[in-house]
Amino acid sequence: MLSYDKQYYGGAWQASTGAGTITVLSSATEDAIGRVPDGTTEDAHRAVTAARQAFPSWSRVPVEERAQWLEKLAAALEPRVPAIAETISHEVGTALSFSTRAQAKFPVTMLGLNARFIRGATLEEQLGHSLVVREPVGVVACITPWNYPLHQVICKIAPALAAGCTVIVKPAELAPLSTFMLAEAAHEIGLPAGVLNIVSGTGPVVGEALVTHDDVDMVSFTGSLRAGRRVAALAGDGIRKVCLELGGKSACVILDDAPFDKAVPAGVNSAMQNSGQTCSAWTRMLVPRDRHDDAVDLATTQLSKLPLGDPFDAATRLGPLASAAQRDRVLGYIERGRSEGATLVTGGGRPAQIERGYYVEPTIFAGVRPDMVIAQEEIFGPVLSIIPYEDEADAVRIANDSIYGLSAGVWSASTDRAMHVARQLRSGQVDVNGGRFNMLAPFGGYKKSGIGREVGPLALDEFFVLKAIQQQP
């Protein structure tokens, strides 16, 4: 049991002004594994005050010194990697092997990369008789999701701190514990008071208090489209900058000349990553109509190689979902797919052999029409829709027929052909023939997948404002 009875702001552990607590449950056992304060509006306001007080001095800290602080924080997190991975596997259901790599080690790497990025950033340039200066935007409120809890915190705070901003983090109620472990690491290295502040609580209370506070200059939010609309509306009322990373309904376009034996398994792996609790997962597999049945067979075979089970079992590839509510939501979508006439190939319910935990069988639907709900709405669970298309133009049309535009994949025997299709997709990132995730490339979406970018050196730009200083020619 990881029990935190205080918030962290102003460089110290502070008693919450409220008496409520949030109990954190294991997604695999449904047992309590932790507890954090259920923060109040006053807690949020105090954290903002601490960040505002720290901003003038932190924004003037030399770039090299800020980079060194990020490296110190990475070094303090490194020995905590096993505990972080285990904790997040409980909270989210991520299989421990993947949790160690993506949930715990990735944040350590990202801190170090942002130290490198800020060292190489151009903060001033001469344009004619004007000196254009990039300055930190100010106090940033970071509201983060439960599916990649520490990963998403670091994707926000690393470039923000590197740029010279101070931050307040509100972690997701379902998975807040790793963020408090981050606070312990920051406290251990003596990060200057008020630079990193953490307040747990609910979105309607702590989240809205941060988004509407006059001393918050920017809000960086990752979460659902519904919540993102609310954040944008509240921030807009205060003319506050926002960076939004929202939902996805990403397409994996497999062209008729593609190596199906590679493309289909890769598409299945993407759709099932983190038990489908990944915003960029390829949850729509688009295949030529005359190869539809071949794709279904290959997908079913690949899914059988991804065992569902205890996230702490070395053989497990897919764990439970993060909560009972998420499990029930996913089961509701599966029932909707059945009722709309999609063909349920495999899965479709709760595994009979597992008595406890928020498990859903990995599920494949075939013969899915592009207008079906399961092809349009983000399910956020282990559900893959296989959609037939007529020709390349039809594939592009179906892939772009979404309110989202976060990620996509294209497979072809010809790189030139795949690139031609990739350029037509309205998506923030496109992987061609299995191109891997790149920590140097910006991550974010088109359309209702959000505004702004995270990851890579270009993410620093989100946390800068531009000042033009005109000089006498």
Domain boundaries, the chain: 2-246+449-470, 251-439
Pick from 56, 229, 199: nearest CA to 139: 56
For position 367, what pLDDT does the model report?
98
440 pLDDT more than 90: yes
> 349 with 361: CB under 8 angstroms?
yes
CATH topology assigned to domain 2-246+449-470: Aldehyde Dehydrogenase; Chain A, domain 1 (3.40.605)
- What's the pLDDT tens digit per position in 335-362? 999 999 999 999 999 999 999 999 999 9
Distance CA 296, CA 364 (A): 8
Residue 66: half-sphere exposure toward Cβ, Cα within 13 Å: 29
Q: What is the number of other CB atoms lying within 10 angstroms of the CB of residue 10?
A: 18
472 pLDDT more than 90: no
Distance CA 231, CA 236 (A): 8
Q: Give the model's confidence band at 78: pLDDT under 50 very low, under 70 low, under 90 confident, else very high.
A: very high
HEC readout, 238-277: CCCEEEEECCCCCEEEECCCCCHHHHHHHHHHHHHHHHHC
CA distances for 456 relative to 79, 121, 174, 438, angstroms: 24, 12, 27, 8
For position 473, what pLDDT does the model report?
76
Mean pLDDT of the 175-192 span = 98
271 pLDDT more than 80: yes
304 pLDDT more than 90: yes
DSSP 118-148: HHH---EEEETTEEEEEEE--EEEEE--SSS
The active-site residue out of 86, 91, 208, 245 is 245
Give the DSSP H or E segment for 219.
strand 218-222
For position 226, what pLDDT does the model report?
95
245 is catalytic: yes
222 pLDDT more than 80: yes
> 161 with 61: CB under 8 angstroms?
no
For position 306, what pLDDT does the model report?
98
Give the DSSP H or E segment for 434.
none
Distance CA 36, CA 362 (A): 32
**Residue labelled with tokens 């020619």:** 473
> 321 with 358: CB under 8 angstroms?
yes
431 pLDDT more than 80: yes
For position 282, what pLDDT does the model report?
98
Q: Give the model's confidence band at 112: pLDDT under 50 very low, under 70 low, under 90 confident, else very high.
A: very high
Mean pLDDT of the 278-302 span = 98
For position 152, what pLDDT does the model report?
98
- What's the pLDDT tens digit per position in 364-381? 999 999 999 999 999 999
155 is catalytic: no
Distance CA 447, CA 198 (A): 30
- What's the pLDDT tens digit per position in 18-59? 999 999 999 999 999 999 999 999 999 999 999 999 999 999
- What's the pLDDT tens digit per position in 317-329? 999 999 999 999 9
> 99 with 85: CB under 8 angstroms?
yes
Pick from 122, 172, 129: nearest CA to 151: 172
DSSP 3-state of 73: helix
* CATH numeric code, 251-439: 3.40.309.10
Pick from 71, 48, 53, 45: nearest CA to 161: 71
Distance CA 308, CA 302 (A): 13
Q: Give the model's confidence band at 413: pLDDT under 50 very low, under 70 low, under 90 confident, else very high.
A: very high
Mean pLDDT of the 86-91 span = 98
For position 450, what pLDDT does the model report?
97
Q: Give the model's confidence band at 1: pLDDT under 50 very low, under 70 low, under 90 confident, else very high.
A: confident
Alpha helices (H) in 60-214, listed in sequence order: 63-77, 81-92, 96-98, 106-120, 149-163, 177-189, 208-211
Whole-number average pLDDT of the chain:
97
Pick from 185, 183, 198, 157: nearest CA to 66: 157
Q: Give the model's confidence band at 305: pLDDT under 50 very low, under 70 low, under 90 confident, else very high.
A: very high
Q: What share of the chain is helix, strand, coil (3-state, %, to 5)?
A: 40, 20, 35
For position 111, what pLDDT does the model report?
98
Give the DSSP H or E segment for 197.
strand 196-198
State which amino acid sits at residue 140.
V
For position 357, what pLDDT does the model report?
97
The active-site residue out of 279, 378, 454, 462 is 279
316 pLDDT more than 80: yes
DSSP E strand boundaries for 347-433 = 363-366, 383-389, 404-405, 407-411, 429-432
Distance CA 147, CA 107 (A): 14
Distance CA 436, CA 285 (A): 18
For position 332, what pLDDT does the model report?
98
For position 438, what pLDDT does the model report?
96
**Residue labelled with tokens 């946390």:** 463
For position 335, what pLDDT does the model report?
98
Residues 6+ apart with CB under 8 A from 115: 67, 68, 70, 71, 74, 162
